[in-house]
Structure 1
């Protein structure tokens, strides 16, 4: 465990030198600010909502849907490319094997860092939304929104690990990895818009449609905005949270095992 913590610290120090990561962290604060200004001046929202609390809830749902569910898979894929390509680019993989550092712990340190980054990004987005929303709107259910952000960060990261595994397997250029991440994010977001027309098995294998169904149903029970008609046609597809956790963590486990095997093969 101590060795894993040391590896995690080393991976974190490597990322601190990357300007892209700093820009992403800044985006976690900037996106809610822009959405607050947009919702404050968008007349159709005020016509649809009867209270300021409803307006804020719709704004926060947009932060969750676009700032997290749409962009996070893409962001995590790019950060994963930075993490997993460092040894290749700097030709330090052989040096790591002489310490020695096990492939399992090395991969786990990188994966844990992805989870931590995602949770921090999601929580920072919600805190910024609450701060900005508290100035111009009425904010309710802060504790629930923070907890939902933590869970969403964990689930989205778990569902994105297959993309990370593909990036590690291909081990191509950063441009290829970025294009693959963008394609994966757009594909998932498109699936969320047409999930009513997709087979249930396909919806459940895509992290964004799966988490969108579960979170939308859960938020209707805990937030001011509550319109059951929006989900009525998808009622048969909505999973329980236990199903979401089992599916995504199973996929994540298989992906981590695959990445460990790749690193072991490269070490040999």
Structure 2
């Protein structure tokens, strides 16, 4: 895991993403302050467009950089001579992605808190919001595990993988918006998609006033949401380990 972190330290993109994720909530805070100045409203905006859009996109692109590092530098054969198994390499990469997901989520929440304080929007229960932000980081990692499997299966080049990450992130938020608008609320496939599961968990934890009955009936508890995401994530992880084990040296 330490070697994978060192690889990322040499890259500018992860640092640029961290700066973007910290700046984004502050911009939203300025926008939210012109409407009602409520921290709940600010956190809702950051949840929708930060945690559900920017974070999966960022993790997908960083995952691409990690997964393609050995292939681009032709170092996989050297690493396996240490010896380190391919399974251990992939496990280390996934651990780094988990650490980054939690770190990015924490940084985004702290920036949200700072933005809220700057415009006078004070949260009533900071630990609850902080815990939810960290939970969303873990959920974001589970969300992008299908992307990891697709990258390994398709053997796409780096540019194609980055484009796929962008498309996956945008498609996910569009499905969430359709679900929230009632268009896909009764669709069983849409209801089980990772991003929609995160949204349904958010509705159960931070129920907005005036929530339609159709959405209220679809909310998920933390345990159910994590179980559903972990189940899907475990399945795609198994597929990824099998595919990575077949990578040519």
- TM-score, scaled to structure 2: 0.92
Deviation, 1:239, is 2.3
1:60 equivalent to 2:43? Answer yes
Q: Distance in 2 between matches of 1:137 and 1:114?
A: 34
1:246 — aligned with what?
227
* Of 8, 12, 24, the match for 1:19: 12
Deviation, 1:28, is 1.9
Alignment of 1:192-203 (within 5 A): 192-195=176-179, 196-198=182-184, 199-203=186-190
Deviation, 1:89, is 0.3
Gaps of 5+ in 2: none
Q: Runs (4+) of structure 1 moved beyond 4 Å?
A: none
1:210 equivalent to 2:197? Answer yes
Q: How many residues align?
A: 245
Larger mean Cα displacement after TM superposition, 127-136 or 185-194: 127-136
Q: Distance in 1 between matches of 2:201 and 2:212?
A: 10
Contact 1:81 1:168 in 2 (8 A): no
* Of 150, 173, 176, the match for 2:160: 176
- TM-score, scaled to structure 1: 0.86
Q: Distance in 1 between matches of 2:16 and 2:220?
A: 35
Deviation, 1:240, is 2.6
Q: CA RMSD in A?
A: 1.6
Bigger helix share: 1
Gaps of 5+ in 1: 1-7, 47-51, 221-225
1:187 — aligned with what?
171
Deviation, 1:90, is 0.3
Deviation, 1:267, is 5.1
Higher radius of gyration, 1 or 2: 1
Contact 1:80 1:114 in 2 (8 A): yes
* Of 231, 245, 248, the match for 1:264: 245
